């Protein structure tokens, strides 16, 4: 059952208009981000990628000399994976905001898309940590013994983003309960 609500006072923010703009922004970012990240990873020298992963300059330069095209392509695929998860989340957010722009505030479909957004962002962080670790392993696999690397990075940004995704997931759970209560109350009237 679809529940729509219309604003009671015209002085409030234009929820439907802002939601429409946010839906378009999410759609644009869902497409642009993977393309931009892929381009960045393809065009960035291997030494720079390794230094960003925490390798010292000499180790990064030595490891970069032995990187094959296959290793670079695998590193790009691994690097794009987290942003593809985020893109999934953005597509879900786009659908959620599209529902809001059509005054669909309390529906299970909206809740489903909000949960999809949270899941996409959560998966993006988890795959980002794993992918960055695997990228350093892949790019240093051909390096001489003693110069291969395994780098693991989990910082406050990742932890805050995981917390944010968990909070959005819980808000969606509360909204699902509200939808169920609204449908139950509508049957009594």
Which residue did the predictor score with more confidence, 69 or 7?
Answer: 69
The number of CA neighbours under 13 Å toward the Cβ of 149 is: 27
Number of domains in the chain: 1
- Under the banding of pLDDT at 50, 70 and 90, the label for residue 99 is very high
pLDDT in tens, 101-111: 998 888 899 99
- Give the pLDDT mean for 28-37: 97
| Structural contact between residues 183 and 1, judged by C-beta atoms closer than 8 angstroms | yes
Measured on CA atoms in the order 86, 88, 90, 96, is the torsion positive or negative? negative
Q: Is residue 26 part of a domain?
A: yes
SS3 3: strand
Residue 2 falls inside a structural domain: no
92 domain residue, yes or no: yes
The answer to the question of residue 6 being in a domain is no
Residue 4: inside a domain: no
Where does the chain have alpha helices with state H?
A: 15-43, 46-52, 57-65, 69-101, 108-139, 156-188
* Domain extent for 123: 14-188
Residue 38 included in any domain: yes
The pTM (predicted TM-score) of the whole model is 0.82
pLDDT exceeds cutoff 80 at 2: no
The answer to the question of residue 53 being in a domain is yes
Question: Which pLDDT band, with edges at 50, 70 and 90, does 180 fall under?
Answer: confident
Is 9 within the bounds of a domain?
no
């Amino acid at each position: 059952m679809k529940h729509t609500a219309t604003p009671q006072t015209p002085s409030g923010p234009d929820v439907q208009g802002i939601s429409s703009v946010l839906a378009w922004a999410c759609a644009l970012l869902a497409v642009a981000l993977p393309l931009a990240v892929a381009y960045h990873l393809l065009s960035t020298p291997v030494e720079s990628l390794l230094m960003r992963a925490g390798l010292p300059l000499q180790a990064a330069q030595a490891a970069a000399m032995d990187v094959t095209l296959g290793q670079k392509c695998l590193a790009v695929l691994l690097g794009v994976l987290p942003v593809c998860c985020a893109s999934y989340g953005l597509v879900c957010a786009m659908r959620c905001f599209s529902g809001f722009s059509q005054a669909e505030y309390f529906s299970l479909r909206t809740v489903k898309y909000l949960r999809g957004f949270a899941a996409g962002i959560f998966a993006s962080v988890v795959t980002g940590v794993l992918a960055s670790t695997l990228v350093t392993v892949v790019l240093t696999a051909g390096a001489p013994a003693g110069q291969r690397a395994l780098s693991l990075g989990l910082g406050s940004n990742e932890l805050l983003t995981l917390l944010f995704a968990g909070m959005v997931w819980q808000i969606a759970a509360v909204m699902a309960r509200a939808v169920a209560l609204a449908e139950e109350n509508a049957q009594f009237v």
